[in-house]
Structure 1
Amino acid sequence: MSGLFIVLTVVLILIVVFQISRASEYVAVLKGEKKADAQSNQVNAALMIVFLVLGLIGVYYCNELLKGRMLPEAASIQGKAIDRMMNVTLIITGIVFVITQIMLFVFAYRFRATEKRKAYYYPHNNKLELAWTVVPAIVLTILVAIGLKHWFSITSDAPKDAMLVEVTGKQFNWMFRYPGKDGVLGKKNYQLVDESKGNMVGQDWSDPANHDDVMPNEMHLVVNKPVKLLINSRDVIHDVGLPYFRLKMDAVPGIPTTMWFTPTITTQEMIKKTGNPNFVYKLVCDQLCGKSHYSMTANIVVETQEEFDKWIATQPVQYQLAMSSEAPAGGDSTQAAAPADSTAAAPAADSSVAPADSNATK
């Protein structure tokens, strides 16, 4: 019903505009073409100024209206720097926008057509063209250089003490993998992916480094500690979007990407800052990836080192879960359990079917 109402409203507006244009034609015939054109120029010139004033008021009002609805302060060191860059860019482009819009509409009013004025064609001026080409080029080059500086910062080598988290996207959810006590993520091979056997990312169980890796259903980070994200995709292109940290990175099938950052505000601190008891950091997919793209979100918890250590200690080892899922129905559970020693023998993968993944982190 609302759709029909909108269509009827649009049709009515078009009819009104058409009738006004027809009426203006009749007026032009009655008053004379020159007099009608002069009157039309006066009206259009006045409307230009009205549009300028209302437009600038609208821009100001929209900015004021959105102030309280924007994201809270950046929750990472890199995010704060990116916010500063964005503010500088908005200030520069905002000043240029206001000046050019005022000049555009004032010139349209000031130099409207009259009987006493003839159009003057100004086809060429080397100095003027050089100025409006070189100056914007220099300013934009500086802004691009600042952006590249921040880009190289988050994609450079992470600090040696950075924690490592692997993020894998698939239609339509995110999977996380943390290394165990050895601090090393085990090798992967896409041919080994088998969710029915608890192998969601294709871990090679013949690699002992896989025997202590854990795969929780949410990401936990330590406040004021650098974290390196190793990003993968299992099917199509996704994008790791971290709006509260002001970061994002594509997840490309077959091509691991990385970025690192340092969170600075715990989840509990952000709850107090925002006054929202239900606040939670989110990881979202910033790349349209299919019909259920909207559902690709995951929770992120930023906490102290002590809280993180307690949490990670409660996470089950993925190797043990996988070995349990491969046990025959009704079998002895003690035989299905994985050995406690992370160096214990694991069933070797057939190298002819599943060669080692050259992109694996070791």
Structure 2
Amino acid sequence: MTLYLTIAVIVLVFVIIFQISKASEYVSVLKGEETSRKQNNKINGFLMVAFLILGLIGVWYCNHLFFHKTLFAYDAASVQGEKVDSMLWITIYVTGSVFIATQILLFWFAYKYQGNENRKVFYFPHNTNLELLWTVVPAIVLTVLVVIGLRNWFSFTGEAPKDAQVVEVTGKQFGWVFRYPGKDGQLGKKYYKNIDASTNELGLVWDDKLAQDDIVSTQALYVVKGKPVKLVIGSRDVIHDVGLTQFRMKMDAVPGIPTTMWFTPKYTTKEMKEISGNPNFVYEISCDQMCGNGHYSMRGIIEVVTQAEYDAWLAKQKPQYYTAFPDKDPSAVKPLADSVKPEITKAPMAIAQKVVAKI
């Protein structure tokens, strides 16, 4: 009963408001305010045209003022990113031209067809040809755009070239962990129950020989200019998203479900500093998926280097296995007692042999 009463009250309120508005309109006509309404109608028509002109000028000025701060000011930093830029420009040209044309017509019609007692209203309820035109043409254009996008998507997420560098990227709250294969060129197994914050962030399976030479880093993602790089992407906790803005690439990082994408860098970090004119330029890897209260700080750095620079960097890195088991590191300095002891034990034996020889 309460529900019906509430609905009745709401309907009654709307009816009262409608009646008051109609009554006000009739009162205005009787008072001779119709002339004022016509004048306001003309003023509004001219304001529509003025707003259209000023709006177009404002859009052009803002583009002129801030274009250099957008991604389009510089070429994509990857070969695949060029295709993304091309796709975006096509989309902007198509949708932008339609948007500008419809807005011009919208404001112009508001001026041209303003209220006029000498003009009779023309009703245009239906036209099959026009409806087919504005349904079929947009459908065809949008289908072409979707096909271009899908083609690029399948290319980026498909099989990478055989000589591609492989790097595993793992997101966590709130940072990135990078893993590179060792001399065997293959990434070892991992198991989430093996995760240890200090010695095994990724949960590598140490019994797996392939994992014992894997290199783990949280500092930066190193890739080589001109060489395809395949990213094996995952997450240690919640859903993240690998956003490579300058390379025009991105991919979700989902817990338990590895995703992949690949691209070929075009410019080293040093070259991009010169191209952008920014001596502090760095390639960034960001999280493009809201992942918690520290999401804003989830920012990593990508270093694009030459092959020689990458080889020199890789040679300095130590496999994570030796961090977990430092006693097995062949490059570690052994205790002094261990190195001296054999010499001490050998000395008496050498002396005894000399004495026996003289006798």
Q: Provide TM-score, normalisation by structure 2.
A: 0.82
Q: Which residue in the other structure is 2:83 paired with?
A: 81
Q: Which residue of 2 aligns with 1:290?
A: 292
Q: Structure 2 CA distance, aligned partners of 1:105 and 1:278?
A: 46
Residue 29 (structure 1) shift: 7.5
Structure 2 Cα separation of the partners of residues 62 and 90 of structure 1: 16
Instruction: Give the AA of the match of 1:175.
Output: V
What is the percentage of aligned positions where both structures have the same residue?
58
Q: Which structure has the larger Rg over C-alpha atoms?
A: 2
Which structure is higher in helix share?
2
Q: How does 1:150-299 map to 2 (within 5 A)?
A: 150-196=152-198, 198-216=199-217, 217-299=219-301
Report the 3-state secondary structure (helix = DSSP H, G, I; strand = E; otherwise coil) of the residue aligned with 1:177.
strand
SS in 2 for 1:215: strand
Q: What is the identity, as a one-letter code, of the residue corresponding to 1:214? A: I
2:116 to 89, 114, 117: 114
Aligned to 1:61: 61
Query: How far has the Cα of 1:188 moved from its partner?
Result: 0.9
Counterpart code for 1:211 = Q
Moved more, 28-37 or 176-185: 28-37
Q: Does 1:46 align with 2:37?
A: no
CA shift for structure 1 position 37: 2.1
Look up the SS of the partner of 2:234 in the other structure: strand
Superposed CA RMSD in Å reads: 1.8
Equivalent position amino acid for 2:253 in 1: A
- Please state whether the residue corresponding to 2:278 is helix, strand or coil: coil
CA distance in 2, matches of 1:154, 1:37: 60
1:28, 1:36 within 8 Å by CA — same for their partners in 2?
no
Aligned residue for 1:103?
Answer: 105
Q: C-alpha distance in 2, partners of 1:251/1:77?
A: 23
Distance 2:132 2:146 in 1: 21
Deviation, structure 1 residue 322: 1.3
Name the aligned partner's letter for residue 55 of structure 2.
Answer: G
Q: Once the two structures are superposed, what CA deviation does each residue of 1:314-356 show, in whole Å capped at 9, x if it has no partner?
A: 01110110123xxxxxxxxxxx33468xxxxxxxxxxxxxxxx
How far has the Cα of 1:86 moved from its partner? 0.9
- Once the two structures are superposed, residues 185-221 of structure 1 have per-residue CA deviations (whole angstroms, 9 ceiling, x without a partner) of 000111111113x110111111010110001221111
- Answer whether contact 1:237 1:253 (CA < 8 A) is retained: yes
Aligned twin of 1:310: 312
**What is the match of residue 20 of structure 1?**
none
AA aligned opposite 2:222: H
| Count of residues in correspondence between the two structures | 304
What one-letter code is carried by the residue in structure 2 that aligns with 1:42? Answer: K
Cα deviation for residue 33 of structure 1 reads 3.1
SS of structure 1 residue aligned to 2:77: coil
Does residue 337 of structure 1 match 2:328?
A: yes
CA distance in 1, matches of 2:292, 2:247: 25
Distance 1:127 1:28, change over 3 A: same
Higher RCO structure, 1 or 2 (CA under 8 Å, sep 6+) = 1
Take 2:175 and 2:101, find their aligned partners in 1: how far apart are those partners?
46
3-state DSSP of counterpart to 1:249:
strand
Amino acid at match of 2:226: N
Structure 2 letter corresponding to 1:337: K
In 2, Cα distance between equivalents of 1:309 and 1:86 = 36
Any gaps of 5 or more consecutive residues in structure 1?
Answer: 1-24, 325-335, 341-362
1:119 Cα deviation (Å)? 2.5
Displacement after TM superposition at 1:47 (Å): 1.1
Q: Decide whether aligned partners of structure 1 residues 57 and 28 sit closer, same or farther in structure 2, where only a CA change above 3 A counts.
A: farther
Q: 3-state SS of the aligned residue for 1:301?
A: strand
1:280-320, CA deviations, whole angstroms, 9 ceiling, x for partnerless residues? 11111111111111111111111111110000110111011
